[in-house]
Structure formats: structure tokens, C-alpha cells
Amino acid sequence: MGRFFNEEETEDIIRWLEILDYKYQAFSLMTKFSVLKRKGPIDFLTDYSLSVLDPNIEYSPRSATKNIREALARITVKSKQKNLYSLVIFKTHNPDFYFSHKNNDFLFLDLPRYNLALFYFYKKLFAEAVHSKDAAMEILSRVY
């Protein structure tokens, strides 16, 4: 981690990734299914939000509200010191952009323009960087 960014920059990256989680959750809750190109709307889906596509979301209003409040609460914490090892930054040579997100769990961004990948655990805290790297690689091996 230290070889890519200093501590302050790393905290800013963490804050940015937490904002992405919040915005992704809000967007998926507010955006409704609308129209398929050339086929028109699917009437029975127009009342549902895109969040129903996410298998990690419980569909009760209480649960959805709790998740988005947790995401917002994370953003408001000023110091990200305790989360530094929850962020894994590594070099990548993938030619394409990749994005993987699981609400209130993790976010992965592969940024080919910068030969850099970011993997952030929203809730898990790690004592050492090697532990978070191992956990991230295990998830990536399943996702890819």
C-alpha cells in the first residue's frame, strides 16, 4: 500500500470508495426497470428497482434502509486510519476495466489506464496488509 500512495492519499481513496458504495446503493434503490430497446417496457417489472437484481440485498424496507444508513455512516467518519489495511492496492495488466461490488461488503475496481487495481472491504478490519490481500485474492478468484 505505502509504495503506491501515502497515508493521506490512501484515506482519501477509502473515502471515495465509501462514497461509491453509498451512491451505488442509492442509485440501485431509486432506479426502476423501464424499457428494453426495441421491445418496450416489461409491465410487471416497472414497479421494481434495480436492486432486486442484487442477490445480497434483503428486500424488506427496513433492511434496505439499514444498509444505506450504514454506508452513509461510514462516509462521515473523518479518520480512516483503522481501515488502511482494508484497502488492497496492486498493479494490474488487465487491458479492460472491471468493477465488482457487493453492498456493505466490498468493492473492486480494475483501472487499466493506470495499471492499478483497488479492492476495499467496507466492514472488515485487518491487523496486517497480507491478511486483507489474501482475503481479496480469494474473492477475486471466485468472481473472475
Dihedral of CA atoms 59, 60, 62, 65 in degrees, nearest 10, equals 20
Banded model confidence at residue 17, pLDDT cuts 50, 70, 90: very high
Give the whole-angstrom CA distance, residue 135 versus residue 124: 10
Give the mean pLDDT of 41-68.
64
Strands 87-91 and 40-41, how do they pair?
Answer: unpaired
E strand segments, the chain: 35-36, 40-41, 87-91, 98-102, 106-111, 116-121
Lowest mean pLDDT among 35-39, 126-130, 140-144: 35-39
Tens-place pLDDT, residues 47-57: 655 555 566 56
Q: HSE, CB side, 13 Å, CA atoms: give it for residue 52.
A: 8
Q: Answer yes or no: pTM beyond 0.75.
A: yes
The single-letter DSSP state of residue 48 is S
Banded model confidence at residue 137, pLDDT cuts 50, 70, 90: very high
Tell me whether residue 40 is exposed, middle or buried, using C-beta atoms within 10 angstroms of its C-beta: 0 to 12, 13 to 18, 19 or more. exposed
